Amino acid sequence: MVTFDEARSIILESVQPVGTERIHLLEATGRVLAEDVAAPWDMPLWDNSAMDGYAVRAEDCLSTPCRLRVTGFLPAGARADGIAVEAGCAVRIMTGAPTPDGCDAVVPVEETDDGQQEVTLLEPVKKGQHLRLRAEDVAAGTVFVRSGTRIRPPEVNMLAGFGMALVPVFRRPVVAILSTGDELVELGRTPGPGEIINSNTLSLSSAVLEAGCIPRIIGIARDTRESHLEKLREGVKADVLITSAGVSAGDCDLVRDILEELGAKQKFWKVGIKPGGPTAFAMYGSTPVFSLPGNPVSTMITFEEFVRPALLKMLGNTGVLRSLFTALLREPLKKKPGKVQIVRVRLEKENGCWYATSAGNQQTAILRTMVDAQAIALLPAESCGAAAGDEVLVHYYGNHIELEPQ
């Protein structure tokens, strides 16, 4: 048996990104840049006005109010070639338009009488005011986004601003999903006596999508050697394989043996966590193989704690673990020392503090509390439980956008 932390380290040391590709910027949101990207030109490419107003020479505007002759007009998109601010004059200019020769300040229209032939400046003028200087945002050749950056709208905006329609990103791993067990029937069929619907394939597929990878459903391996061989052989062709069930010590638990027969190298079996203990991890060449317990709660929790960080690393992310924060328990939580206990909780904020309440029955067979949980509390292996008012470490479960009531 390995500890929770050992299991995570072994997994994260074993997995790597699965290659890179160039994709259109429109598809790049949420993907991770695979190269440093340098500015091909200065941003902005010319000095320009930060306001709608008048381009002036500050030395002409020493008295307030001050009157200047308007000799030109520069709308956005215009070129400033051949236009200059002569002594005692101003050029009407719009935001973003290139500043003309001689201009060393822009006076916002709100600080003038808005004159067309002549303009009166009503406020004192400071040299350099309301100018955007060439390269003040990014100078040509400067790296403005680094490899490993997750692409958000600001990155998209900047890449687009530099004309980069195609961007280098890490490829999305294809994740094979295989369920095992004679009791399973696929979604769409009515289960007969003793049968249950193969819900794990669907929830794993959902979790794989949520992590940003591509699920490939392999189906069900029946509890025979032949069926396992056939399905596992197909599964290991993907970038990642996740199996569910058949990994405990029961008579029909064939997954680990058949994986070994195929040539996968087991890195660990059994982790010091509850639920989710009988998890196994192996490498088939460079393909990580996660054998998760079949109980739907255990499958989801072990995906969350072990598979998700691995997928995020394979996608090129540098930070792969959810942030842990402290919450105060509303009620005591019982636990025996020895294993990390994973507790499904709900969170509330009161006077700036987070409070955690158990989401309900914590038995592994109870799916309802998984649905109700907003977060997971991690009780350390050595702890003998926690009392009401104790601090516990928690992390969100799933993509919670906002937990605060409206």
Nearest C-alpha neighbor of 294 from the set 279, 284, 313 = 279
The one segment of 36-44, 148-156, 292-300, 366-374 that binds ligand AMP by CB under 6 A? 292-300
Out of ligand AMP, Mg ion, none, what residue 244 binds, judged by CB under 5 to 8 A for its kind, is: ligand AMP
The DSSP secondary structure of 190-222, one letter per residue, reads ---TT-EE-HHHHHHHHHHHHHT-EEEEEEEE-
Shortest approach of ligand AMP to residue 378 CB, angstroms? 23
**Is position 245 an interface residue for Mg ion (rule: CB under 5 A)?**
yes
**Is position 198 an interface residue for ligand AMP (rule: CB under 6 A)?**
yes
Spatial separation of the C-alpha atoms in residues 99 and 395, rounded to whole Å: 52
Nearest C-alpha neighbor of 287 from the set 7, 59, 14 = 14
Question: Residues 299, 301, 304, 310: is their CA dihedral positive or negative?
Answer: negative
* Among the listed residues 244, 279, 291, 341, the single contact to ligand AMP using CB under 6 A: 244
Out of ligand AMP, Mg ion, none, what residue 184 binds, judged by CB under 5 to 8 A for its kind, is: ligand AMP
Binding residue count for ligand AMP, defined by CB under 6 A: 18
Shortest approach of Mg ion to residue 6 CB, angstroms? 26
**Is position 191 an interface residue for ligand AMP (rule: CB under 6 A)?**
no
| The amino acid at 207 | A
* Among the listed residues 128, 250, 319, 337, the single contact to ligand AMP using CB under 6 A: 250
The DSSP secondary structure of 147-189, one letter per residue, reads TTPBP-HHHHHHHHHTT--EEEEEPPPEEEEEEE-TTEE-TTS
Determine the angle formed by the axes of helices 225-235 and 255-262, rounding to 10 degrees.
60
**Is position 369 an interface residue for ligand AMP (rule: CB under 6 A)?**
no
Out of ligand AMP, Mg ion, none, what residue 200 binds, judged by CB under 5 to 8 A for its kind, is: ligand AMP
Residue 258 CA to chain centroid, in angstroms? 35
Out of Mg ion, ligand AMP, none, what residue 179 binds, judged by CB under 5 to 8 A for its kind, is: ligand AMP
Bridge partner residues of 40 (DSSP): none
**Is position 179 an interface residue for ligand AMP (rule: CB under 6 A)?**
yes
Residue with tokens 């997928």: 311
Out of ligand AMP, Mg ion, none, what residue 293 binds, judged by CB under 5 to 8 A for its kind, is: ligand AMP
The answer to whether residues 292 and 242 touch, using CB atoms and an 8 Å cutoff, is: yes
Spatial separation of the C-alpha atoms in residues 334 and 336, rounded to whole Å: 7
**Which residues 375-404 are close enough to bind ligand AMP by CB under 6 A?**
none
CA atoms within 13 A on the CB side of 127: 5
Closer by beta carbon to ligand AMP, 297 or else 356: 297
**Is position 324 an interface residue for ligand AMP (rule: CB under 6 A)?**
no
The DSSP secondary structure of 257-276, one letter per residue, reads HHHHHHT-EEEEE-BSEES-
The answer to whether residues 233 and 191 touch, using CB atoms and an 8 Å cutoff, is: no
Closer by beta carbon to ligand AMP, 48 or else 298: 298
- Residue 242 has phi, psi (to 5 degrees) of -120, 125
* Among the listed residues 100, 181, 235, 278, the single contact to Mg ion using CB under 5 A: 181
| The amino acid at 196 | I
Shortest approach of Mg ion to residue 331 CB, angstroms? 34
**Is position 296 an interface residue for Mg ion (rule: CB under 5 A)?**
no
- Tokens for 53? 């107003």
Residue with tokens 């429109």: 26
Closer by beta carbon to ligand AMP, 129 or else 200: 200
* Among the listed residues 215, 275, 296, 309, the single contact to ligand AMP using CB under 6 A: 296
Shortest approach of ligand AMP to residue 207 CB, angstroms? 13
Give me the residues that bind ligand AMP (CB under 6 A), please: 179, 181, 183-184, 196, 198-201, 244-246, 248, 250, 293-296
Residues near Mg ion (CB under 5 A)? 181, 245-246
